[in-house]
Chains A and B, each alone.
Chain A
Amino acid sequence: MAASDDTGAPSPAGGARTRGIPWRRWNIAVHRDLGFLAAALTIAYAISGIAVNHIADWNPNYRVSKTFTTIAPVADTAAAAMIATTRERLQLADAPRSSFRPDPNTLQLFYKGTTYHVDLPTGKVMVEATVPRPVLFEMNQLHLNHAKRAWTWIADIYALALLLLAVTGLFVLKGRLGITGRGAWLTAAGLLPVVYWLVFLK
């Protein structure tokens, strides 16, 4: 059993009292408490990081679905009349947020979360629905700092906490398993991805 000082924490010298600032004890305490404080955001940022990293393969914020239906062809008349006819045929009770005609054959109706692309001559309709991915959408908003304002400061403080976690982590253990032993090799191994980037990807 390790000896302890008057605060109840183990003495770094294994029983022998040391003079001056007990820096290793403070280092462990800072590392431990920052670890608890940063856990929630680290999990959120890590999940969001993986999601955003693969943005070329999928949309990490929204689930977009495209379905098709057909209505009777819509005559090319005044915009208001075309919108009214299309709404009636699609049984849309509410008026659209806005509308647009990208070309003479197409009418687009914009609703919150849904866009209707109507091919006027054929009556073919593409219904494009956009739904935010639950939880992941919010995590990405925080990770990419879309909120700006106060979140910029919170994210800065969190980044500073991560920096401290990394630095204090190097000095938690001492001896054979610490930074002067096995820890040095593992820390050096952690630099390998950076070397790989410098040599092959930059």
Chain B
Amino acid sequence: MTTIRTAIAALALVALSATTAAAQAKDYGKGLTLKVKTPISAILKDPHAFHGKKVQVEGTIVEVCEERGCWIKIASDKQFESIRFKVEDGVITFPLDAKGKLALAEGVVEVNMLTKEQALAQAKEMHKERGTMAKFDPSKYTKDVMDVQIKGEGARVK
């Protein structure tokens, strides 16, 4: 009987530790190294100035890749803006329940020009994945677009 009681107490302690740990910040990938944060709005305002540079950004996670957790979208400090933080498949996996949490993330800014066909294909895929309310409108994609993202190395989510 004493053994059973001890086992139950030990399990309760483990469960309590797990709950406490879950409430804390969680690190993904490499540790954060930069001391200065770059506003996402500054990157989106002049992406070419940041191309190839390592930055640290902070913001609310507003979207998570539903299939693999291989990217998150981080809200900008400016309204209606966000940036995609893409990580290598399988190296970092963001959980879906990270949505709405605060992310401090580090990586290298990538600026790519997408042809209208590539942009259309990417938007179609995102629309399918997100299942948003709005109907997909392919007529919006009439010219080449600039795609800005951060190639993610590490993040802290809390």
If A59-B67, A126-B132, A126-B133 touch, whether A115 touches B93 (CB-CB below 8 Å) is no
- Please report the number of residue pairs spanning A and B whose Cβ atoms sit closer than 8 angstroms: 61
Shortest distance from the beta carbon of B122 to any chain A beta carbon, whole Å? 16
Q: With A and B bound together, what is the CA distance between A100 and B90 in angstroms?
A: 28
Contact for A61 among B90, B95, B131, B134, CB less than 8 A:
B95
Per the bound structure, the CA–CA distance linking A146 and B157 in Å amounts to 14
CB distance from B24 to the nearest CB of A (A): 14
Question: What's the Cα separation between A97 and B97 when bound, in Å?
Answer: 11
Report yes or no: A64 in contact with B66, Cβ–Cβ below 8 A.
Answer: yes
Within the complex, which residue of A61, A108, A126 is in contact with B96, where a contact is CB–CB below 8 Å?
A61
Interface centre among B80, B132, B133 (most CB of A within 10 A): B133
Closest A-chain residue to B90, C-beta based?
A: A144
A158 to chain B, nearest CB (A): 19
Within 8 A of B (CB), among A102-140: 102-104, 108, 110-113, 115, 117, 119, 124, 126, 128, 130, 132
Q: Say whether B90 contacts A119, CB under 8 Å.
A: no
Q: Does B79 contact A (CB under 8 A)?
A: yes
Chain A residues with Cβ below 8 Å from B80 are 101-104
Q: Which of A108, A113, A124 contacts B62 (CB 8 A)?
A: A108
Contact A102 B62 (CB under 8 A): yes
Q: A143 CA to B100 CA in the complex, in Å?
A: 26
Of the candidates B66, B79, B100, B132, the one whose C-beta lies within 8 Å of that of A59 is: B66
Within 8 A of A (CB), among B72-105: 75, 79-80, 82, 90, 93, 95-97, 99-102
Given the known interface contacts A113-B97, A115-B99, the answer about A55 and B68 at a Cβ–Cβ threshold of 8 Å is yes
Instruction: Check if A100 sits within 8 Å of B60, measured CB to CB.
Output: yes
Residues in B neighbouring A61, C-beta threshold 8 A:
69, 95-96
The answer, yes or no, to whether A92 is at the interface (CB within 8 Å) is no
**B residues touching A (Cβ–Cβ < 8 Å)?**
60, 62, 66-69, 75, 79-80, 82, 90, 93, 95-97, 99-102, 131-134
Binding site for B on A (CB under 8 A): 55-56, 59, 61-62, 64, 66, 68, 96-98, 100-104, 108, 110-113, 115, 117, 119, 124, 126, 128, 130, 132, 144, 146
Known: A62-B96, A100-B62, A144-B90. 15 other contacts (CB 8 A): A55-B67, A59-B96, A61-B95, A62-B97, A64-B66, A66-B131, A97-B100, A98-B101, A100-B60, A100-B82, A108-B62, A115-B100, A126-B131, A144-B93, A146-B93
